[in-house]
Structures are given as structure tokens and as C-alpha cells.
Structure 1
């Protein structure tokens, strides 16, 4: 199976999830960001009403540079700007709708190191922009800088909203069943020194949990550094130290989450979706009779859902493709193994905190240890390796194609091979999984060797 995630040739600025890159270089310079704001403002300046954009950010140092550049671009296009400060990405999606904005913007590079940053856009419905809208923004960026500017009397204003965090806290708490409580539950919460460092601990504490926090001291440089969902060891060690019932690790912008049980064992996105899906299915809440995930979802997850009489629909890698499939099929649970889970009963995009709350709701309802509630299936053995290349398309090499075909044939229907290009870097990801771990390792090894020989 080949899943090509490289950017289409037309897309020079936008990647698979907005604009992202090294801060103060390339697409992420103040001059370019100003142009992005002006172009996006022109696209969403529709109708005669006073137009509004909301802007949030995570805790990276470069946010201080990007926020005013975007503000200048939007106000120059005649849009009023509401500055919300550090908030999770899903909070921005929610507040875009709540504040009736024409567009929402999140300044974040998600789980990347501090020296990267990015810009994610949400439409007035709280969903991420379509490819067509992003391409239109890129097209307008090519115009002369003075094209489409507002007249002097129509320039936008900027205003800081002080209670945005409190609004999201109340929203998140409202997703947790009112008849349940987190009292008596000791929770380790790792906020990755990122966007949720203020709001997430408040939500869990106000719902009754005994919260032990790590990763809540951002300094502009330490976002995702040794903490968060991409570095879960810190959470696992804290669970052991505090003898906690569960560990919750968010990423830098809190749109994804990884959990560990009281024994320190990792619970990934597949297990979380399986837990919530089974619980909702029993109560008639699961819509569409299926869960939406990507080509990276484990086959063990798929077999578990089949045992419940449910289906699994796979998409290309990327939450935007998951959301598109969810909207088409009216499914209300979807996501990725990385912990980017979308629960459309509550949110239009991945929300790590709300996902954790729904898992906690199942734990509270069943009144059992997390290890019993959340380990729903035995994952098939899986192996993923990355192969870097400089130019060309090594996947077109005859020996590479042969290695892929032979690996797939060896599984004989009891495993699979997934080959895909990264959408953000020159990397080919080689993954195999199946019932026989020996075949999995052999398949990946042979494909990687063929790729490396083709690359030279």
C-alpha cells in the first residue's frame, strides 16, 4: 500500500497542516507572515459586516514576532483582530465559532521543537480550511503588496480578550458527564510546556481530580523538550513517582494526547478510540457504525472493531482527511494512532484534553483501573522506519517496487505494508505490521535496503 503525502506542486506555502517552518526563515519571516495575513484577510472579507479574526498561540518565543505581523496584515485588510494569547489549538477552533469570527488563526508548530513555528487557519465553522481556500490565499500573496488594502477609514482594530481561557475551561468541563466525578483519581498531567499549561490543570482540578503537573513552566524555549506526548517517559516516571491512577501527556498545542495507565504502559490513539467507541456504542451514541482513522491504524484495532460489529474506514495520514471522511459519513469518532483524536460531538478538530476527559469518563463509569479499561486489544506487531532522500522519487525504482510486492505477498493477507512520503520533510516512511513479527521485520528491512540502494 502506497500512501503519498507529499505536497501537491501548486502548494508552495501551505503544507499538510497550515504553514510551518523554521522561525524567522523561509515562509516564517515577518514580511511573509504579513503577506499571509493580508491575503487571508482578503479571502475572508465577505459581505458588508465588520469582519473579525481571532488569533491564539502556543508558548514559543517566536510567537511574539508572528502575532504582531499577522495582526498588521489582517488590520491592513480591514479586519478587526481579537488576540487571545496562549491557548490550545482546539480552543481556537471553538472560539472562532463562539466569537462569530470570520476566521481563526493558531500560531503553533504543534509537537515540533521551539525553533519551528507555524500558522493554522480555521474557517467560521471551526473547521480547517480546504485545499482550494489555501491555494486562493497563496495566489493572493503573489499580488502587489498594495492590492486589496483597506481604505484608511476602514482599517481594522486590535483588542486583547482576557477571559478566553476561562471560556474554554467551561466548555471543556461541559463535555464531561455531569453525573460523574474525578474525585479520588490521581492524575499526572504533562502539558509539554505548551499552550494548555494554564487551562488543562484547571479543568481536571475543577472536576475533582488530584492533579500532579509537569511541563507547566514555559520559557519560550522548552516547549516539547523532554516532555509532552512525543516524550512520554517523563509522564510515565511521574506516574510511578506519585503512584497515580493515570498519566496524560498533551503536545505543544494540545490537539493530541498520549495516556499511560497506572502501570506506566502507553495507551495510544488507537486504544483511546477503541475505549470511547465501545462505550459509546453500548449506549447508542456512536454514529455511522464505524470509526475513521488513517492508513497507520493498527490492524489489531480494526479486528477489535469488527468483533463489535463496527467498521474502520482508513484515510490518508493527516487529521484534515480524517475530518473530511467523518463529515461525509456522519461518524463522530476519528483520529490517528499519534493521539490526534476528533470527537465531533464536541469539537471540529483534535482536542487532547477533551479526548482525555472522555477516556476518564469511561474509567469513572466502569470504576476499574485504567489498565483494565483502556487496553482493549492486542496490537499486531508493527515496525516503522524513516528513510531520508535528497531528490527524485526512489519509490519509482524497480527494485524498490519488487521489495514492496514481495513483502506484501509474504503476509498472505495477514499483514500489510504502508509506504508514504512525509508531507513536511524529504522522508519516506516504511511501515509493516502483521501477525508474524518475523515477517514484519524482514519486510521493513528489505524495503529499506532497496530504498537506500536506490538513493545511493
Structure 2
């Protein structure tokens, strides 16, 4: 059996890979590993979910598992993942559980765990939880069995938290918000209206089956068209659990996570709040972001792909902002994990405060054409001498005008070849050339 936890929780086909039995076992293991053994009180656990149909089944299994382990469960219903993170800290819970598969299609689902304070678990703690799955244990009985309570105003607490983070009123801005028929379908429009914006929501009618279905942060065409149709100032797109945010200009052009990070990093610097004038990004961020940060005097720290590595760098050094191209952006002064609604609010606040359009602000990043080729091959092929020689030759050819990134997949027998170059044709040609070498070894 491979590692139970992936890059963001336990995830798989609901009722196929991720069964109610597995969900219950993970919940029990988490309660036994994450509860404070010295506490005289039962552990308190916040549980939320996104609106996909299988979430009802899996939430019931998680809640049953937690109660069977003696935990007091605070059930908050359908809320964004960052709301569960926030509420875990707000109610001083021992940990939190979010039932969601984020941007994945409806048939999938997942279980995300947050430690006390709403922070994500380290690899070591995840492995410790995994080791307890299926372990023989003594079940509590009688008065030691856990109880279940519903926190009916959890979303309202989260909205107040978001409102406190708004740095400038959004009066005069019109925004189209794609809610991905997901967990933010109610709270995202409400949060943006409360800050002063005129809000036009789309894909905000979840029925359990339509989450992420040709909408949201991974499908931007409908949002782009709606922004132009309504003459809006900008558009925002969230994924199914709203830990991501991508944007669209008034002309319908996409503003990705790299550009959003640059805008927010400059806003923080101007406010004197960018710690050590540093932005944290993964190796997949576009060279254009690196160039823009260098030209504006901001340092850029690179991490491996995955928000856990961003969080490690942010927490270790106390940096102010980090993120990914996908729109998963972390601002530790406001939240311990990525929050798409927070990102959207701060992005619009920068537009309102400067009086500049989103397109003008995003133009600080001149993105280079990027070509990604996934090659079916043993992951060890990435270290073969012939492959390394091909990468060195391409790197020398590009000089300072581009770059090559070779990355074995962490979950599949794939080697990912990513090339950035001054032109799309050159990027594609070099990527395909290296891919052929990978296949041949």
C-alpha cells in the first residue's frame, strides 16, 4: 500500500477508493493521534464539507468515527476549506476535518486534516495518523462516547473574519464571481458585497452533482465571457472548496496565481508589511514572476511543488506571502492556509486603493511562454546522464532568456518536462526534444 495521504489529504473516488469505512478509520486514527493525552477533557473537532453528494455520506462516517473515539464534534456543514481552518482556531479545537476533493470532479472526494490553530499537518504527523489506521484499540463506552453539536453560525463567524481583513472599501467595483457550484456559493458573494462591491454570482447553485463541472478555477471560459458581457471591472474564480482564487480582467484576460502574488506582494511592500521583502513561490512559477520581482527589488524564495512546502518556508522564516500559479495563495498574517476569498478581497482592495485596473496591476509580470510535457517513463529517467545532458544543452541554448525544469511526478510514473522561452514555438520545440530523450533511456 502506498502513502495514504497525498499532497493535500486523503483523496480518491468516493465510495470506491475512499469508502465510508476508510473515512471512519482515518477519523478514529486522527482522534487518537491528534488529541492531547494530558487533557482532562475530550478532544474537540470541527468538521465541515463541500456540497458534493458523497460528502453527506463521508461526513456521517467521519463524525461517527470521531464520536466513537470520544471526541466532541462541532459540525459546521457546507463551508469553504479555509473556513474550517479558521473555525478550528476560533473555537480552540484540537483539530479540524474538511471533507472535500477541492478542484477534483464530483465523483471524487477527500479528507483534509488541520492541526490545532487550523494549520495543515506535517508529513511526519500525517504518517503517524496513517500508522494508526486499522490499529486495535479500546473503544470508550457510556459517558465517554463523544457528542455531536451543530455550529449553525459558523459561516457568519468566518465572514466577520474576512471583513476584518479588508484594507480598502470596494465601493464602485463590479465583480463577476464563479463559485464553481461549490462550498463558497453563498459566502463568496456575501463577503464581496459586505466589502462594498457589486457582485454578479455565476455557478452558485450547487445541487450535489455540479461542483467544478465546466466551471470554477479550472474552467475559466464562462467567467471570461460573463465579465465582458456584464461590463464588469473584473472576475474571480474559486474552486470547489474555495482555497484557490484566479482572476479575469475587464477584457476577459486571465490573471493567474503568479500575477496575483506579484500584485499582493507589491501591496504588502508598499504598506511596509512584506517581511524581508520576500515572496515564496514554487519552482513551477513562471520566469516572468522571477524577473518582475527582481526588477521591483523583491526577493523570491523557491520551494518544491505543493502548498506544504510553501507553508514550511513561510513558517520557518516568518515570510508574509507565498503561493502557486493555481491561485492557491497563503498570507500567514490573515490565515494559516490558502484562502481564495481572502485573496479575492485583498486583490480587489488593491484595485480600489490604487485606482488602477486589474490589467494594469497584472502587467508587472511579463509571462514567458511555458510548455509542459508529461512523459510516461520511470521517474528515475529524470536522473539519467543522457537526459541531464539534454537539459544542460537546452539550458545553455536559452541562457538568461528562459529555463528548463525536469521534475519526476510524486504520484505517477511520469517525468514532467517544463520549458519557458521567448516564444511558444521555441518552448515547445525544446520540451519535445527533451521528452524524446526521456522516452529513449
How far is 1:432 from its partner? 1.0
Partners in 2 of 1:102 and 1:452 — Cα distance?
A: 48
**Which residue number in structure 2 is paired with residue 170 of structure 1?**
160
CA distance 1:387–1:219, shift in 2 (3 Å): farther
Partners in 2 of 1:392 and 1:378 — Cα distance?
A: 32
CA distance 1:392–1:186, shift in 2 (3 Å): closer
Partners in 1 of 2:13 and 2:381 — Cα distance?
A: 26
**Which residue number in structure 2 is paired with residue 60 of structure 1?**
52
**Which residue number in structure 1 is paired with residue 175 of structure 2?**
187
**Which residue number in structure 1 is paired with residue 199 of structure 2?**
211
In the alignment, is residue 427 of structure 1 matched against residue 427 of structure 2?
no
**Which residue number in structure 2 is paired with residue 31 of structure 1?**
21
- The more displaced of 104-113 and 423-432 is 423-432
CA distance 1:348–1:174, shift in 2 (3 Å): same
CA distance 1:152–1:405, shift in 2 (3 Å): farther
How far is 1:328 from its partner? 1.2
**Which residue number in structure 2 is paired with residue 159 of structure 1?**
149
How far is 1:415 from its partner? 2.2
Query: Residue deviations 1:198-239, cap 9 Å, x none?
Result: 100101112221111111111111111111010011110100
Residue among 74, 79, 82 paired with 2:66: 74
**Which residue number in structure 2 is paired with residue 286 of structure 1?**
274
Partners in 2 of 1:388 and 1:89 — Cα distance?
A: 33
Partners in 1 of 2:107 and 2:165 — Cα distance?
A: 34
Q: Give unpaired runs (5+ residues) of structure 1.
A: 1-9
How far is 1:345 from its partner? 1.4
Partners in 2 of 1:339 and 1:446 — Cα distance?
A: 30
Partners in 1 of 2:65 and 2:289 — Cα distance?
A: 45
CA distance 1:111–1:247, shift in 2 (3 Å): same
In the alignment, is residue 442 of structure 1 matched against residue 404 of structure 2?
no
Partners in 1 of 2:207 and 2:230 — Cα distance?
A: 25
Matches within 5 A, 1:2-401: 12-26=3-17, 28-46=18-36, 47-144=39-136, 147-177=137-167, 180-389=168-377, 393-401=380-388
Partners in 2 of 1:249 and 1:392 — Cα distance?
A: 34
The alignment partner of 1:16 has SS state of coil
Runs (4 or more) in structure 1 with deviation over 6 Å come to none
Partners in 2 of 1:362 and 1:331 — Cα distance?
A: 20
**Which residue number in structure 2 is paired with residue 415 of structure 1?**
402
Partners in 1 of 2:362 and 2:398 — Cα distance?
A: 29
How far is 1:379 from its partner? 1.0
Partners in 2 of 1:385 and 1:234 — Cα distance?
A: 26
Partners in 2 of 1:116 and 1:213 — Cα distance?
A: 25
Partners in 2 of 1:156 and 1:94 — Cα distance?
A: 23
Partners in 1 of 2:383 and 2:289 — Cα distance?
A: 31
How far is 1:394 from its partner? 3.5
Partners in 2 of 1:134 and 1:194 — Cα distance?
A: 26
How far is 1:398 from its partner? 4.7
The alignment partner of 1:81 has SS state of strand
The alignment partner of 1:248 has SS state of strand
How far is 1:427 from its partner? 3.5
Higher relative contact order (CA 8 A, sep 6+): 1
Calculate the TM-score normalised by the size of structure 1. Answer: 0.92
The answer to whether the 8 Å contact 2:287/2:367 transfers is: yes
In the alignment, is residue 405 of structure 1 matched against residue 408 of structure 2?
no
Calculate the TM-score normalised by the size of structure 2. Answer: 0.96
How far is 1:299 from its partner? 1.3
The answer to whether the 8 Å contact 1:40/1:137 transfers is: yes
